[in-house]
Amino acid sequence: MTQRTPLERELLQKAAQFLPGSSNGNTKYPDQLDFLVKEGRGGRIWDVSGNEYVDWLMGSGPMILGHAHPAVTDAVLSAVSRGSTFFANNDQAVLLAEDLVNAVPCAEKVRFTTSGTDATFQAMRAARAYTGKEKILKFEGGYHGTHDYAMMSVFASAAVEFPQAEANTAGIPDSLSDLMLISQFNDLDTTAAIVAAHKDEIAAIITEPLQRTIAPEPGFLEGLRKITADAGILLIFDEIVTGFRLAYGGAQEYYGVTPDLCTVGKIMGGGYPLAALMGSAEVMSVYDRGAVASDSYVDQIGTLNGNPVACAAGLATLEVLRQEGTYDRLRHVGGSIRRALAGACEEQGFTVQSVGEDGIFDIFFAEDPVRNYRDGLAADTEPLGKLNAGLLERGVLKSWPQKFYPSVVHTDEDIDRTIEAIREVAPTLRG
């Protein structure tokens, strides 16, 4: 068991005293394994007690260049020296918007926000404003942040029939459930039937092109594009996670399907609070008071939208990602861990489903393929919990309960240490 210094134990007690649930609402580990991060460099982090971890959580995805990357750190220090925020257009935001438009297929205009939650909320609002319709279709298990509309059928019981929505947090007005329609990921027939029945009410379909760790089946995203185009509704890709991870142009480039709108965050902010909504100039005109009628104009104000420090971090990150071989390295790192993980569990007699892509992945302990959220509910969570705990005890950190986020700076030593830990833990997963 990892040792805790008196200082870290004291700080953990303060966390319990001052933070609801002892956390900021993000990853919280079991009490006996809980720790406080003090610093990170490259593909590793250290807790307050000085214990070292190979980090596959990577800030829940933003740190594709690792912690404290010199290019990003230098850009941030330079930006901070010029001021923190201005509540006015700034050069760094304009330059980052240009890079985003040049990178992402659907992007002609950019509107910055400070979080993925805000970006997906804006995407839904913009779709409603543009189409004049009120309902949004999302997929069961899809995560689009924590605003009221997004928190429908994320952690669903699977006890209701499609397209009924199910609120998954307290505090959401009952009336909002009528504005969200729910379908099943990788199920074009169900989705097409819902759209046909409600096309006069639906403003948009929003989806993670890779839902959590579940990849789209061949033809699914292409089918969504056709369904939405035929029905005259918008297609929104939530690329907060997949943007600049699956490819430089995101899932749109990787899978070859272009939506009307998309959201990006995490990687494009270089680890700082930044996200954006992007799309065609026509749809994004709802943010231009001089371009649309007053009843179609969307008023969006944020004190830290396009923050110059965050945008400087984003510019530096994207510059590094454009270097030759970057994504080959990312796929090598992720693929090495992905194959070792599935192989070690299968050697112990488990049937596992390796899901995702080499840039973001995990396994389900399940007999049948996992194509959607409901398939995932049939998986055995006990060995996964033991796997996560066993890795953490051996100094290997991943998202809890699921996801590995490889980075381009994870070293061969990081890979070897992780594979060694996986092989040590795998024989302990039964019983």
CB atoms within 10 A of CB 107: 26
How far is residue 329's CA from residue 335's CA, in Å, rounded to a whole number? 10
- Sign of the Cα pseudo-torsion (221, 224, 226, 228, in order): negative
- Nearest CA-CA partner of 308 in 107, 102, 118, 77: 77
Cβ contact 365:388 at 8 Å: no
Cβ contact 207:224 at 8 Å: yes
Is 187 a catalytic site residue? Answer: no
DSSP three-state, residue 201:
coil
| Structure-token pair, residue 229 | 């185009």
Catalytic residue among 238, 358, 362, 414: 238
| Structure-token pair, residue 73 | 């750190």
Tracing tokens 């209701």 back to the chain, one arrives at 160
CB atoms within 10 A of CB 292: 15
- Sign of the Cα pseudo-torsion (169, 170, 171, 175, in order): positive
Is 238 a catalytic site residue? Answer: yes
How far is residue 220's CA from residue 250's CA, in Å, rounded to a whole number? 17
Q: Dump the DSSP string for 356-400.
A: EETTEEEEE--SS---SHHHHHTS-HHHHHHHHHHHHHTTEE--S
Cβ contact 116:240 at 8 Å: yes
CB hemisphere CA count around 191 (13 angstroms)? 25
Query: What one-character DSSP code corresponds to residue 315?
Result: H
Is 226 a catalytic site residue? Answer: no
- Nearest CA-CA partner of 190 in 235, 137, 141, 261: 137
What values do phi and psi take at 151, rounded to 5?
A: -85, 25
Angle in degrees, CA 387, 389, 391, rounded to 5 = 70
Catalytic residue among 143, 254, 373, 405: 143
Angle in degrees, CA 44, 6, 391, rounded to 5 = 35
- Nearest CA-CA partner of 35 in 20, 21, 15: 15
Angle in degrees, CA 148, 405, 45, rounded to 5 = 105
How far is residue 284's CA from residue 295's CA, in Å, rounded to a whole number? 15
Rg (CA), the chain: 22
| Structure-token pair, residue 352 | 């596992």
Catalytic residue among 266, 287, 405, 414: 266
User: Active-site residue numbers?
Assistant: 143, 238, 266
